Every structure is written in C-alpha cells, then in structure tokens.
Structure 1
Amino acid sequence: MKILVTGANGFVGKNLVVELKNKGYKDIFEVTRETNLFKLENYIQKCDFVFHLAGVNRPNEEQEFIQGNNIFTLKLLELLKKHQNQSPILFTSSIQALQDNPYGRSKKTCEEILFSYSEETGAKVLIYRLPNLFGKWCRPNYNSVIATFCHNIANDLEIQMNDPNIELTLGYIDDVLDEFLQALTGKESKKVNFCTLTKTYNIKLGELAEKLHSFKTTRDSLIIPSLEKELDRVLYSTYLSYLEENNFSYKLKKNTDHRGWLAEFIKSEEIGQIFISKTKPGVTRGNHWHHTKVEKFLVIQGHAVIRFRKINSSKILEYHVNGETLEVVDIPAGYTHSIENIGEEDVITLFWACEIFDPEKPDTYYVEV
C-alpha cells in the first residue's frame, strides 16, 4: 500500500510516519513545504491513501490561512482528479472549525471543499475535527498549551495562565495514531459526517499546570506522582520528552558509612519506595523488625544470607541468595531480619518497602536476629 502524508514534518505527521514504518508500511510518500509540485504529482499518481495533515496554524498574516490551508487542499484534489485517483483522503480539521476565527474559517472551508470533492468523484473522505493534541515532538510556544507548559516548566521558565478554571478537551497523539491506523484499514470511528477520536481527556488548565509542576519536583523529592489514571501517565511521558538533552539524568544522595552505602531511588504514596545499597564483605545490615511495614529484598551482586527470627521465638531462618540467581525474599511483619555479606565482593541489594519512610513514625525496632 502506497501512502501519501502531507505535513509530514509536523507534529502529527512525524508521529504518523514513524508509526506507519513500525507497522511495516514501506511506501510512504512524505510531503513537506519543501516538496516541489513535480514530486507531489508523481506521488499522487501512485498513492492508495492520503493523510492530509498539512495546514497553517499560526501565520504572520491572515492571508496565509487561505494559501496554506484552502489553496493547497484545492491543488491536492485537482491533481487527484487529473490522474483519476480516487484514494481515500483523511483530513485533520479542528474543533476550531466551529469557531468564527480565521483559522477556524479556513478549516471549515477545507471541510466543505472535501465534502464537495467526495460528492463529485465518489472518493471516500474522512474528516476529523481534532481537539487540542499533545505528545512528544509537539512544538512549544505555537498552538499547544501542553507543549508550551511542558517546555517552560522543564526548563525553569514561567508559564502564563489567564483562567485556571478553563476546561480543556485533549487528544493524545498515540490515540490519534491508533484511530488513523484503523481508518487506513476502513475501520474508522464515525458519527454522521465526521470521524471522531474514541478517547479524549478533560482537565482544567490550573490542574494541568499543577500536575506538570509536580513532575518537575520529582527529582528532588523522589516522590513519583500517582500514575494510576491514563491521562497522568501520558502527561508524564509527554513532560519528560521536553527535557533538554543535557538534562536527562540526576544524581541520588548516597548515605555512606563503614558498612557501604544506601540511596533512595523512587518513592510513591501509593506503592511505597525503592532504595539500593552496597554492603562490604563481612558486614551485616538490618537487625530490626516492623509492626506493619513489609519489604522485599533482591540481591543483584555478591553472596549474602538473609536471616529471620519471629520476635517471640528463638528459631532462626536463613535464606542464602546471590546475584546470579535473582531470588526475591519477602520480609514479613513481626520478624526481626538482617542481611549479611558472606562473600568476597560487595553485595548490591535492591529493597522495596510498602510505605515511604516517615521519621516521625518509622515502625522500625532494633532487635538482633
């Protein structure tokens, strides 16, 4: 299948082209502002499906809406008719088509041009009035509030917010791609004359800004915000894509003593925390128990023995573990426990605890195993 994509360098276009390649499509004709008319016509003679994503959003002059949106659409359809190519056309319109502004009017005109073309030729036309879109590779300070907020917050810049109570309707780029790939195989979601995204999200502007700010503070607090809701997960993914290339990493605080070191890695109000330690040969850690807190130990380097004793019993249990076997050991409540390095190299251990350590209520009582 030969697929033509106009606006291939734009936000949706870039994501669509790479996903088409992921799905095994090889004949993809990418049309950008630099594509000359000869090449465009050559593509149009061969294509089996058209994704018409090109458009002008923020021109310097209002006249550019007509040139970039309406005139280019007319030229595209003229060439399709010239070569009697009735390939289906998927067009990305906007919810702004319902608004009386220059951009909205230009999109509405494109819709009317495409509907007329479909009636005249019988070609299938799929028009999506898309909401505000977001995701990786979306240009900040252009026409996406999420792209702008993510970029500015990630890079210590101020954000502007006139009314935090404005409610946004959002579409995530991966959901758009899923829908477009369905449309490519004739399984589009359609209501009356227009196609729709089956999944959108609603959030107030102030709440959006609050979430994005919380993502930024994660590196200092180590507390990951709740990602239980799908919107939170895709927002976090989007936020990270706006980090500068020299800012992908951050250092953890190592608490070092004669035993080795220990560092906290990730904390979560919902699932507790993860930390990591290095223990020198012959050194024992632990010798404490908890009323309620439970943990998991995973040795990923070296040889160790994990010992347990129920606090009202004299019986000692031993689990010998090493970094080659990767055996997770559960630490139940009511058992004093320890881990001893019995090898000749440092032991490195991953720990998970079901709650974030609270120095005001540590639930930790020191008793020798």
Structure 2
Amino acid sequence: MTKTNKIKIAVTGDEGFLGKHLIKVLKTRGLSFTTFDRTKYNLLNPESLKGFVTGKDVVIHLAGANRNTNFKLSQTNTLGTVGLLSAIAEYSPKTRLIYASSSQIYLDQSYYGLSKRQAEELLHWYRNNAALDTLALRFSNLYGPGGKPFYNSVIATFASLINEGKTISVNGDGKQERDYLYVDDAVEAIIKATLHQGKFETAELDICSGTQTSLNKLLEILKSVCPQEIPVEYKKTLSGPEWRINKDNQSAKELLGWQPTTSLRQGLINSLGIKTENTLLQIKKLVKHQDSRGMFAEVLRPEDIDNPAFGQMSINVTSPGETKGGHYHLYKREWFCVVRGKGLLILRDRATKKRKEIILSEDKLRVVEIPTNNVHWIKNIGKSDMFLLLYIDKSYNSETADTYREE
C-alpha cells in the first residue's frame, strides 16, 4: 500500500448520505481522492470506467439504491458492482475495492439484501479468479446528521418529525429491535480499511454497534434529551417475519483495529441537530443540595455521557469561614480544584496520623489528588464563596458509598 499522504482514492456514491460524510473526513485528513462524474462514467459500461480506476490505490464503492423496484435494485447494486469489478480487473488489477454492503444480506426476505449479497458473491469471484483485493463492509442501520427521512433510517424520520413538531407513528408495539450505527463510526471503518497495509485476509466484515435497540428505547432516549413533548401513537400490529439481525464487530476490531465510539444517545442528539432552532438540548438539570455551609451538586455521572468508565464530576460551593469534609475513603479517589475563592485543604493520614495543609485558590489554579485512607477537610478562608470542582473516579451510590466519618 502506498504511503498515507500519497494514496490515491476514488469514490462512488459521494453524493449519498454515507458518501457526504466520507468526503468530509477525507478532506479533513488531507487524503487525495476523485469522485464519480456521471457525465463521464457509467457503472454499467466498464470501458467508460478506465479513467476512473486506472492508477488508483483504492476504490471505495458506496453507490447503490436502498429503496426502488427489484429491477432497479439489481441494476444499481449488483450490475453496477460487476461493472466496476470488471474495469478494475481489466485496467487496474492492483487497485483495492472496498464495497459498502449491508447487514440485510442475512435476510432472505429482503430483496435489497439479496442484491447486496449477489454483489458480494461477485467480489468473491474476482478475489478468487482475478486475484483482486476486495473487502465488503456489512453496515448495520446507519444514522446521523443529514439522513433522509423515510429513506435512510427510522432515526432520520423520527428526527424530522420531532423538528417539525409532528406526531411519531410507530407500527406495532415498538419492541422491534435493530442494530444502529452512527455514520461517523462507519466512515472510520472505511478509512481504516482504506489505509490497511497488505492484502485483506477476509472477504467481508460486519460493521455494527453489536447492540440491539428497540424503537421504544429510541423514543425513551429522544424524550430524555428533547425539551419539548414528543407525541407518539402506536398503530397496526406488524405482520410478517421479524427482521432482527444479531451480529458483532469482533472481526473488525481484530483486522482493522476498529470499534464504534459514538454512543446511541450522543448520536441521537447529533441527529436532532438538523434543525437547531427547535432542538436546544438541555442534557441535565442539576439538583442542588444546600445547607448553612453552602451548596453541592453532581454535574456529570457515567450515565449522563454513556461512559461506564467515567466517575463523577461535582461542584461544591462553601460560604466564607465554613468547613466541609471530615471523612475518608478506602477505595474511592478524588481530585480537588478551587476555581473561585480561596480554601485550606487539610489532610490527615489515618495510619501515620501525620497532618498536611495545602492552600488552593483561583490565583494559583492546581488540582490535588486526595489520597485514600486520609481524613480530609476543606475550609473557605476567603471573603467570598469558594467554588470547588471535584472529580471522583467512582460515582456515588448510597449502597456502596465508601465514605466514612472518623470514629
């Protein structure tokens, strides 16, 4: 494979949902690429593609149809792919082809899935008989900003209806589940496949979140991040087979070093941002705990940012002359930073009984880690309220508080 900064890429389907996001990232990363000019090239005419594929290191084939007649689906998804494969084999056999397939290839009842599966079989044939380097990326249900309502995904439809203040109609009981993948995560998989060194050892990879989510769960998350009411009505009962596909992304992790990084909650917030005037999102209302000494509030917890590894961020306001603390932790680690005012941090090691005092103030910003098994206090020694920012590596749970007052 050519060095990253010199690699030559050609892209079909650059005007589609996934293609637009890919082009944006290719530009951002300074990668050289050519897009498909329909006035010059025709996927159904391999001879016309000579100039498109010749000299390219990688062709990323995104062009396709999601919804159309069966004939059009086969013509676009299957015949268009064999036209491109034929051109690469004839004019540029060292060119790698990355094909945007779909998890619907696993569904016998989906003609769209059939057209994609047939295209994959053609990739296999050219791998085995023409020694082409090909890889099919089987994307699950893609969503994100710019999705076309009633076409790209149910999330694009929901986002559009919410932004327009309309009622969301759900067919069935809302329990039907799908695997939803944020479009930027899909793009990252394409980039990693593009820059992969050496010939691919496998012919296809499942590119998915690995998590099944029901429509009811989608609606629950949307309601939690939207300031306005979301009217929902449930209509007729669904008939026919269940379109549930259980796949994981382990092979993509092993081969490409890829895994999704965008939580469903964050992806839904980004998707809602299509029309920002109606989606000024309030992520969390803080609960203030007040007494004569001041105020305390939890700012962020793991569930707020969909990151179980995150602990807890809080803010503590202490009135002049007041002291807070007087406890210790056996396992929980804390970090203190006074961002307004002036405080005296007092630490006493329970084992050695040694005492340490540290001044923390807005004039000299610094973060201090509170050692475990140390009783600690902080006193406001300034003339105005002291604002203390705290990070704790474990979020508070009343059943496992790990907070002890000295006996």
TM-score of the superposed pair, with normalisation by structure 1:
0.68
Q: Given that residues 131 and 170 in structure 1 are in contact (C-alpha distance below 8 angstroms), is that contact kept between their aligned partners in structure 2?
A: no
SS at match of 2:20: helix
Q: Which piece of structure 1 moves more, 84-93 or 65-74?
A: 65-74
The residue aligned with 1:340 is 380
- Name the SS for the 1:69 alignment partner: helix
Q: Deviations over 1:330-365 (max 9, x none)?
A: 1756736232133x6653211245443759x99687
Partner Cα distance (2:225, 2:38) in 1: 47
- Per-residue CA deviations over 1:308-339 (Å, capped at 9, x if unaligned) read 5689x998642212233413141756736232
Q: Which amino acid aligns with 1:160?
A: V
> In the alignment, residue 357 of structure 2 is paired with which amino acid?
E
CA distance in 2, matches of 1:186, 1:113: 23
**Residue in 2 aligned with 1:225?**
none
- Cα pair distance change 1:298/1:125, threshold 3 Å: same
Partner of 1:356: 396
For 1:47-66, list aligned pairs within 5 A: 47-59=56-68, 61-66=69-74
Q: Deviations over 1:148-183 (max 9, x none)?
A: 678879999657374777665666653663465335
Question: C-alpha displacement at 1:29, in angstroms?
Answer: 1.3
Q: Deviations over 1:162-218 (max 9, x none)?
A: 477766566665366346533554546544xx3224x65544444x85487358648
Q: Distance in 2 between matches of 1:216 and 1:348?
A: 33
Q: 1:104 corresponds to which residue?
A: 113
| Pairwise CA RMSD | 4.9
* Structure 2 partner of 1:160: 170
Counterpart residue identity of residue 55, structure 1: G
For the residue of structure 2 that corresponds to 1:196, the secondary structure is: strand
Q: Unaligned stretches of 5+ in structure 1?
A: 221-229
Letter in 1 for 2:301: K
Work out the percentage of aligned pairs sharing the same amino acid. Answer: 24
Q: Give how far 1:55 is off.
A: 0.5
Q: Deviations over 1:51-72 (max 9, x none)?
A: 111110023x444324433454
Structure 2 counterpart SS, 1:274:
strand
Question: 136, 140, 165: which is aligned to 1:132?
Answer: 140
Q: Return closer, same or farther for 1:232/1:159 CA change in 2, 3 Å cut-off.
A: farther
TM-score calculated relative to the size of structure 2: 0.62
Residue 2 of structure 1 is matched in structure 2 by: 8
* Counterpart Cα distance in 2 of 1:298 and 1:278: 12
> Counterpart of 2:264 in 1: which secondary structure?
helix
What stretches of structure 2 of length at least 5 have no aligned partner?
A: 1-6, 43-48, 228-258
Partner of 2:272: 243
2:26 is aligned with 1:20: yes
Please give the secondary structure, in 2, of the residue aligned with 1:321: strand
Deviation at 1:125, TM superposition (A): 5.1
TM-superposed CA distance for 1:249, in Å, is 4.5
- Provide the secondary structure at the position in 2 that maps to 1:55: coil
Q: 1:210 to 1:290 in 2, by over 3 A?
A: farther
Contact 1:275/1:350 (8 A) holds in 2: yes
Q: CA deviation at 1:4?
A: 0.9
- 1:305 paired residue among 344, 347, 350: 344
Q: Distance in 2 between matches of 1:65 and 1:305?
A: 71
User: Shift in Å at residue 260 of structure 1?
Assistant: 6.0
Map Cα deviations across residues 60-114 of structure 1 (whole Å, 9 max, x no partner).
Answer: x4443244334544654576688x3433322223343452543133324434555
Counterpart of 2:359, as a letter, is H
Partner of 2:238: none
